[in-house]
Amino acid sequence: MVGAALAMATSAVSAQDLGGSSGASSGGSSGGSITDTSGATDHSQVVGHMGLRYFGTTTMAVLGGAGGGLPGYAGTQNNLTIGSPSGAMGVTGGNATLHTVGARYWLSNGLGIEGGLSIGFSSGSSSVTVPTTMGTNTTNTDVPNFFGIGLQVGLPIMLAESKHLSINLSPLLGFHFATSSITTGNTATTTVDNSGRSFQLTLGANAAAELQFGFIGIPQLALQAQFGLQLRYTSATLESVPRATQLPSTATQGSFGLGTTVGPNYSLGDILSGAISVIYYFGNAPGR
């Protein structure tokens, strides 16, 4: 997304602005100095228009191998620790990442709405063939299937704006759910149906600075940096049901805490995926 934004920026330096103007003589925002404060603000030109944006990632606890997860379900998963039940037949756990993409719409100069959806699905198997004295022996192994879905909504409130930069506060509410399962064993006494479920509920707010590129003639393109606090409830459950007895074993872990919307490790990847995003507003500005 960042690469596409830079490509658009390069090609649009001498192109039309939101209203179709191509030069200063026509009264448009066709570029100029970044310190120029004359004319309408970039933010005012995108009010009433839909903007596409990337909200970031959410990590969900799942069975090992599901959704590209890492092994270690009996260890720490997404800030919580959960032990495998006795009937799990060695099933491990991991993490799956959901990416949230959505839209922002400014209802007025001071108030907007935004929402994003995340969805993921995976299923597969692996095959290993080894030579034997009788030829070859092939072992097929299923990979845990995975399905995840999430929704995040926000209400951006404008706090201050200048020619190319605006500051907003955005309360947010989000929930994410993931499920994964696999059957292990190959006899009546060893076959076990294993399943994992995780849920996250998030309530918080981000303070965001949005830089729009009107100084190079494309105010509809923006780069946003955000940071905030969130209250999050997380739960995860691992259940194993031996087919021989049909008696389920279940392990459940829940956590509740307050933290930042970026992190927890504050690596470059955390910052880029959680704090920095690109927004592109579609359409022509009203009255231009």
> Cα–Cα distances in Å, from 280 out to 13, 116, 223?
15, 15, 9
Task: With respect to residue 176, please indicate whether it lies within any of the assigned structural domains.
Answer: yes
Give the containing element (helix H, strand E) for 287.
none
- What is residue 79's three-state secondary structure? coil
Task: With respect to residue 36, please indicate whether it lies within any of the assigned structural domains.
Answer: no
Mean pLDDT by 10 residues, the chain (288 residues): 45 39 40 61 92 88 57 32 40 74 95 95 79 80 84 96 94 94 77 86 95 91 92 87 83 84 67 80 62
- List CB contacts of 186: < 8 A, sequence separation 6 or more: none
Task: With respect to residue 205, please indicate whether it lies within any of the assigned structural domains.
Answer: yes
What is the tally of structural domains in the chain? 1
Residue 110: give the domain boundaries. 2-21+42-124+142-281
Closest CA to 161 of 37, 53, 288: 37
Give the containing element (helix H, strand E) for 93.
strand 93-106
- Look at residue 72 in the predicted model and tell me its pLDDT: 32
d(CA 213, CA 221): 6
Q: What angle do CA 244, 247, 253 make, to 5 degrees?
A: 135
Task: With respect to residue 130, please indicate whether it lies within any of the assigned structural domains.
Answer: no
- Look at residue 249 in the predicted model and tell me its pLDDT: 80
Asked whether the beta carbons of 143 and 155 are under 8 A apart, the reply is no
Task: With respect to residue 37, please indicate whether it lies within any of the assigned structural domains.
Answer: no
Cis peptide before 286 (omega within 30 of 0): no
d(CA 96, CA 69): 5
Total-model pTM? 0.72
Six token digits for residue 202: 């998030």
Task: With respect to residue 120, please indicate whether it lies within any of the assigned structural domains.
Answer: yes
118: DSSP letter: E
Task: With respect to residue 129, please indicate whether it lies within any of the assigned structural domains.
Answer: no
- Look at residue 272 in the predicted model and tell me its pLDDT: 66
- Look at residue 170 in the predicted model and tell me its pLDDT: 95
Closest CA to 59 of 145, 143, 146: 146
- Look at residue 61 in the predicted model and tell me its pLDDT: 81
Task: With respect to residue 97, please indicate whether it lies within any of the assigned structural domains.
Answer: yes
The dihedral region occupied by 65, where left means phi > 0, alpha psi between -120 and 50, and beta the remainder, is left
